[in-house]
Amino acid sequence: MSVVLVTGSYDHEIRFWEAWSGICSRTITRTGESGQVNRLAISPDKRLLAAAIHKKVNIYEISSSSSDPVATLEGHALNVTSVSFHSEGKWLVTGSEDGTIRIWDLRNPHPHRTYDNGSPVNDVSIHPNQGELISCDQAGSIKQWDLSDNICSHELTPAGDVPIRSVTIASDGSCLVAGNNKGQCYVWRVNDEHSGLPRFQAVTRFLAHNKYITRCLLSPDVRFLATCSADTTVKIWSITPNFEFRQDKTLIGHQRWVWDCAFSADSAYLVTASSDHTARLWEMASGETVRQYNGHHKAAVCCALHDGAG
């Protein structure tokens, strides 16, 4: 599969799509099993799909037609809100409303390591150096977790106790962006640990939306930031080399909340998932919808796209 595009919904289904035709090529129906799909992640080699479903994570074989998972990761006590694969696909990290972050070795479906965040976790990103995690939570904190020392090494609270909904770190490790429940985005330059400068240096903040930010995501080429919102739009922000953010486009078309987004590997396209039951493929250059994916019966709340080298 050269392009893997997947969506998850409150209808409990996971759907695979042919990106260009808009045809649904496979549905994982999960009959007799409750729990909505919260987040999706595709392994770097395009072999596995990790689906956060209520308190657990199901691992599916992407090339298979079976609706049965090849593994299930259980241990969280509440909703799993985030899931990400390590760059070599050997482990994955999850964050949960139970206030913990867990690392799972895929060869052994038990938690390899657990970090106690102390507050419900909304999002976790893996630093491109693969040695640190960046999390954000309901208490308004952003934390860096050091995987070698097993500690929380840095903590940021940019807006007091306003919950931070989403965090994204640049593919080159140069900057960190966080979005909160009041529509604010905060940006930090990330300095090398040995530079003598603060690890996280605040550079700017801006009001991206007047309502909830549900997801913020930096493009792979670090030229754009996408912010998804309860206001039904996705905004695209261009980024200067000095980390100035200017609104470039507003993607208009979804009828309800936009929950999630994913960039193509070349940063030329963006996939979004919305409460209006649909997902859309947008062309970044024009800001137009080039394909709509129809089939879910309830809100589409998560999406994943992998069209790069497997």
260 DSSP β-pair partners: 273
pLDDT tier at 59, thresholds 50, 70, 90: very high
Which pLDDT does position 1 carry in this prediction? 59
Residue for token pair 């040995």:
194
List, in order, residues 6 or more apart from 13 with CB less than 8 Å away.
27, 28, 29, 30, 37, 296, 297
Q: Indicate whether 310 pLDDT > 70.
A: no
| pLDDT mean over 25-50 | 91
Res. 29 pLDDT band, cuts 50 70 90: confident
The predicted-structure confidence for 99-153, as pLDDT tens digits, reads as follows 999 999 988 877 789 999 999 999 999 999 999 999 999 999 999 999 988 899 9
State the average pLDDT for the chain: 95
Contact between 58 and 74 under an 8 Å Cβ cutoff? The reply is: no
Confidence of residue 185 (pLDDT cuts 50, 70, 90): very high
- 210-257: pLDDT as tens digits: 999 999 999 999 999 999 999 999 999 999 999 999 999 999 999 999
pLDDT of res. 104: 96
Q: Nearest to residue 224, comparing CAs of 185, 190, 255?
A: 185
Burial of 117 (0-12, 13-18, 19+ CB in 10 A): buried
What DSSP line would sit under 99-130, residue for residue?
SEEEEEETTEEEEEEEEE-SS-EEEEEE-TTS
Mean pLDDT to the nearest integer, 268-277: 98
Kindly state the tokens that stand for 214: 């549900």
Average pLDDT of span 74-102: 95
- Nearest in space to 293 (alpha carbons), one of 305, 284, 285: 305
Average pLDDT score over residue span 258-271: 97
